Structure 1
Amino acid sequence: MQFQFKFNKVLSIREREKDEALELYNQSVKRFEDAAEKLYELLKKKEDLESLQSERLLSGLPVQEIRHHQQFVGNLEKTIHHFQKMVMNTRSQMNYFQDRLMEKNIEVKKYEKIKEKSKEHFYEELKQLEGRQMDDISIQHFVNRGN
């Protein structure tokens, strides 16, 4: 007799759902990392520009160049603000997919636990059946010996 888990198809479906959730989570992590990296680059660029501007102001700078720099920094700040929103959105998506992955993982663990307990129960019954068969054989052997 071989063990047959009655929820094997359900378990395989849950495992596939968990794998899909893991893939979605990994994609969301990648999107978050890309957005955060781009935001970091923009902030670094702004910091470098501001330090360069303050150095150049000490040596003297035409007003037109100061205006141009301020306009450029203003546009850069708008881009930074856009990427800050993007980072927040991708972080919330990443957290959502992480929660879904954890739920799927818990479901799979439940079915694996059911399978494990069912298997233990099956082998315990099999052991008892073998014990009864051995008892029957022993009794038959004893009765045949007596005759």
Structure 2
Amino acid sequence: MAFEFRLERVMKIVKSDKERLETDYQSLFEALEGIAHQLMDLMEQKKAVQQELQNHMTQAIMIDSMKIYLGDIDQYEKRIHLKTLEYTKLKSRLEKLKPILREKAINLKKYEKMRDRAQKDYDANMKKKEMKQMDEIASLRVVNNG
């Protein structure tokens, strides 16, 4: 009779939940990194437009041209604000997922330790049974030969 852990199904469910959460966490983290890069690019583009406006301000510049630059800067600021909000929301979701993932990992470890303990107990009981059978066989041989 082979060893069967009575909570094997529960442990598999906990393990699959943990793996699913790890996958979700990883995809959220990658999305967060992507948004961070987009945010950095937007800030650099805004800075470039501001620098270009600054360079044109040293020369004679038409008001319409200046309005275009200021409009572009305003658009970059709006896009940066929206990306910042998106980044904050994702970061919040990621932070909420961390303790849940940690708890799932701890629960899985508990089940694995319980399984290991049960396996050791099972192995020890099987060894005792084998020893008992060997003793019985040995005593039968002594009685039959003696």
Aligned to 2:66: 66
Contact 1:28 1:97 survives alignment (8 Å)? no
| Structure-2-length-normalised TM-score | 0.92
1:1-147 → structure 2 map (5 Å cutoff) = 1-146=1-146
Q: For residues 34 and 103 of structure 2, what CA distance do their matches in structure 1 show?
A: 26
Q: CA deviation at 1:45?
A: 0.5
2:61 counterpart SS class? coil
Give deviations 1:87-142, integer Å, cap 9, x for gaps: 11111111222322222122111111111111011001111111111111111111
Q: Which runs of 5+ in 1 are unaligned?
A: none
| Equivalenced residues, count | 146
Alpha-carbon distance in structure 1 between the residues aligned to 2:56 and 2:110: 66
Please identify runs of 4+ aligned residues in structure 1 that moved more than 3 A.
none
Structure 2 contact 49–72 (Cα < 8 Å) conserved:
no
Letter in 2 for 1:41: D
Q: Look up the equivalent residue of 1:94 and give its one-letter code.
A: L
Query: TM-score of the superposition, structure 1-length normalised?
Result: 0.91
Residues 46 and 73, structure 2, Cα contact 8 Å, conserved in 1: yes
Distance in 1 separating the partners of 2:25 and 2:96 = 8
Code of the residue aligned with 1:120 in structure 2: it is K
Q: Over residues 58-84 of structure 1, what are the superposed CA-to-partner deviations in whole Å (9 max), with x where a residue is unaligned? A: 232112211221122122112211111
Question: Over residues 17-75 of structure 1, what are the superposed CA-to-partner deviations in whole Å (9 max), with x where a residue is unaligned?
Answer: 11211221122113212221221111010111111111222232112211221122122
**Matched residue SS, 1:98:** helix
**Matched residues in 1 for 2:64 and 2:102: separation?**
56
The letter of the residue matching 2:66 is I
Q: Secondary structure at the match of 1:59?
A: coil
Stretch of structure 1 that moved more, 101-110 or 41-50:
101-110
Q: Which residue identity lines up with residue 32 of structure 2 in the other structure?
A: F
CA RMSD, 1 decimal: 1.4
**Relative contact order: is structure 1 or structure 2 higher (C-alpha 8 Å, sep ≥ 6)?**
1
The AA in structure 1 aligned to 2:143 is: V
